[in-house]
Structure formats: structure tokens, C-alpha cells
Amino acid sequence: MSKNNVTQKDIAQVLNISRGTVDRALHNRRGISDRVKARIIAKAKELGYSPNKIAQFLVTGRSVNIAIITPGDLLWEKVKQGAQSFLSVLDNRIVNIKWHETSVHDAVYEPAH
């Protein structure tokens, strides 16, 4: 088991308990004793467990919305293409990006009150 990809299933197997019990401990849900919860959390830290954010977004149905305003020149077009290429490996339900191109002259300065 690689330290970078430790899953709840891995923790459950090491401790010989159900994945559901591990899930309850890691998400502070009811139905688990404090002693068992502490044991699971300690083992998760020892193994280097960290939650998979993409999986969490898929399970919860949540997404990240990002708005990007850039000048409309070739450099920023390359940045846009690179970002879209990188994000193409993710499910479109997870990350939504809205691009808006503008010129420096379109910017409006409004001082804070």
C-alpha cells in the first residue's frame, strides 16, 4: 500500500473492521465509540491518509466554480488552453470554469468605501 494513495478501505483492512466504520470515524458520524474512533484516526494518520477531494465532490454532487478574467492576447490563450487540457481529465460536474476576455481599457476602478 503506497503512502500517497491510502484509502478508507486500506485502513479498514489493516484494522480488520468495516469500511463503513472507518467512514463514520473519519467524518465524525454517530454509531461508533470514542475508543474505536481514536484508533481509526491514529491509524489513518500513521498510514498518511488524506481524503480524495475529487471523490468527495462526486459523492456530494458539489462542484467548484471558477471565473477567470484575462486580457485577450495570445499568452493568455495559451494559459486557457493549458488549464482546459488539465481540467479535461476531471469530470465536468466537478470544476466549472467561465472565461471572460477583456482589455485593460475595459477595467473599471471603484474605490472601497
Q: Measured between alpha carbons, how far is 33 from 16 in angstroms, rounded to an integer?
A: 16
Whole-prediction pTM: 0.55
What CATH number labels 3-51? 1.10.260.40
pLDDT tens-digit series, residues 17-35:
999 999 999 999 999 999 9
Helix axes 19-26, 34-47, angle to 10 degrees: 90
By CB atoms closer than 10 A (0-12, 13-18, 19+), residue 87 is: middle
Q: Where are the domains of the chain?
A: 3-51, 62-106
Q: What's the pLDDT at 106?
A: 61
